[in-house]
């Protein structure tokens, strides 16, 4: 049974989701299995028309789990600054940092706080077709039955109509060579009209160097389009880990020291920090 509080939270998140799109149709297209009518009913308070299954479907796509508080590390603030530049000036850049630095967290926060910002999480099994279709879905372009070329044209047409749009490609180093080369076509069509940021670990550096050295198709073109540089983020510090602990309710110095010690063993990976904080908070509750 979905409680009234859950429904209220879901509606709040749905309102925020819709605010990022130019219409409820586009907002619905960006969700899986959710119609415009459902969105309209929820936003107009007609909750009795919505089944529990639909509420759960929306909750899984909209509501972040837990009550984790994000602390603005130097890396996080750098990301926000770079994303502002992408949005305001239409810049394209490739940002690199170790896993667990908070790249994805910052990207999602920026998306949630700004209109016309879209995040696509890349994967190794993406081909040109799935890459373009998933990008269309994220943007809210309905293109299920269109060929790749027409889908790309629809994406470009939608983006150029927007006010300062930004595309963020998370884990972009997982894309195959063919899809990365296809990205160049997307860049060419949107140059100066849409800011873009690609995110990955530092491993992309060697891949790019080897690709250019071996004269692999598309690598020199891609390198040129990102300004022939990868932009690094500052590493998370022990002091920042301690502040993250405090921001999430962990105040005892002994517990904070345990978290910072564990974090230091894994280069202050913020995913490990989150687990450690939750573990210490649970210990406080139990004892």
What's residue 63's pLDDT? 58
**Phi, psi angles (nearest 5°) of residue 240:** -70, -35
Buried (b) or exposed (e) across 238-266, using 16+ Cβ within 10 A?
eebbbebbeebebeeeebbebbbebbeee
For 216, the token pair is: 């692999």
190, 159 contact by CB (below 8 A)? yes
User: Which residues sit opposite 200 in a β-bridge?
Assistant: 96
111, 279 contact by CB (below 8 A)? no
What's residue 287's pLDDT? 43
Cα separation, 164 vs 153, whole angstroms: 18
228 sits in the region (left: phi over 0; alpha: psi -120 to 50; else beta) called left
Q: What contacts 231, CB < 8 A, 6 or more positions away?
A: 82, 93, 94, 95, 96
Q: Tell me whether residue 142 is exposed, middle or buried, using C-beta atoms within 10 angstroms of its C-beta: 0 to 12, 13 to 18, 19 or more.
A: middle
Q: For 226-264, what is each residue's pLDDT tens digit? A: 999 999 999 999 999 999 999 888 888 999 999 999 999
Fold of domain 74-232: Rossmann fold (3.40.50)
209, 220 contact by CB (below 8 A)? no
What's residue 91's pLDDT? 94
Low-confidence ranges of the chain (pLDDT < 50): 65, 287
Task: Give this prediction's pTM.
Answer: 0.84
Domain boundaries along the sequence of the chain: 4-62, 74-232, 238-286
Q: For 160-201, what is each residue's pLDDT tens digit? A: 999 999 999 999 999 999 999 989 999 999 999 999 999 999
CA 219 and chain centroid, separation: 24
């Amino acid at each position: 049974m979905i409680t009234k509080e859950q429904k209220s939270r879901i509606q709040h998140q749905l309102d925020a989701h819709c605010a990022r799109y130019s219409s409820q149709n586009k907002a619905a297209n960006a969700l899986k299995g959710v119609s415009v009518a459902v969105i309209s009913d929820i936003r107009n308070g007609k909750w009795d028309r919505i089944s529990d299954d639909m509420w759960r479907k929306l909750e899984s796509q909209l509501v972040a789990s837990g009550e984790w508080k994000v602390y603005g590390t130097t890396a996080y603030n750098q990301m926000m600054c770079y994303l502002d530049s992408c949005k305001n000036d239409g810049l394209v850049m490739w940002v690199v940092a170790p896993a667990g630095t908070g790249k994805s967290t910052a990207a999602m926060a920026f998306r949630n706080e700004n209109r016309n910002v879209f995040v696509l999480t890349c994967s190794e099994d993406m081909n040109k077709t799935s890459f373009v279709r998933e990008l269309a879905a994220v943007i809210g372009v309905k293109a299920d039955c269109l060929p790749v070329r027409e889908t790309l044209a629809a994406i470009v047409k939608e983006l150029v109509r927007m006010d300062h749009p930004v595309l963020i490609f998370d884990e972009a180093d997982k894309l195959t060579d063919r899809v990365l080369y296809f990205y160049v076509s997307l860049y060419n069509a949107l140059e100066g009209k849409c800011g873009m940021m690609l995110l990955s670990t530092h491993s992309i550096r060697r891949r790019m160097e080897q690709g250019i050295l071996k004269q692999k198709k598309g690598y020199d073109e891609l390198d040129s389009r990102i300004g022939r540089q990868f932009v690094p983020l500052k590493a998370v510090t022990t002091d920042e880990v301690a502040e993250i602990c405090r921001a999430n309710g962990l105040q005892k110095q002994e517990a904070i020291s345990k978290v910072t010690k564990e974090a230091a063993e894994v280069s202050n990976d913020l995913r490990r920090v989150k687990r450690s904080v939750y573990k210490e908070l649970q210990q406080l509750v139990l004892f």
